Amino acid sequence: MILDDALELLIQDLSCSEALEYCADQIELTRILERMAENFMYAAEA
């Protein structure tokens, strides 16, 4: 999904660096959401 979005950005004539920056931002956001979900699961088990 992230790569599909980046490819769409490239098709829309953005620079490669902008598309890569978008990917990095989305990956970081995904990691943050995963950590939040893990913390929620641990809290739910307590």
pLDDT in tens, 10-40: 777 667 777 788 888 989 999 999 999 999 9
Q: Is 37 exposed, middle or buried (0-12, 13-18, 19+ CB in 10 A)?
A: exposed
HSE at residue 31, side-chain half, CA atoms within 13 A, is 6
Query: What's the pLDDT score for residue 7?
Result: 75
- The 10 Å CB-count burial string (b at 16+, else e) for 4-36 is eebeebeeeeeeeeebeebbeeeeeeeeeeeee
Question: pTM here?
Answer: 0.60
Query: What's the pLDDT score for residue 14?
Result: 66
Query: What's the pLDDT score for residue 23?
Result: 83
Determine the Cα–Cα distance for residues 35 and 30; give it in Å rounded to an integer.
9
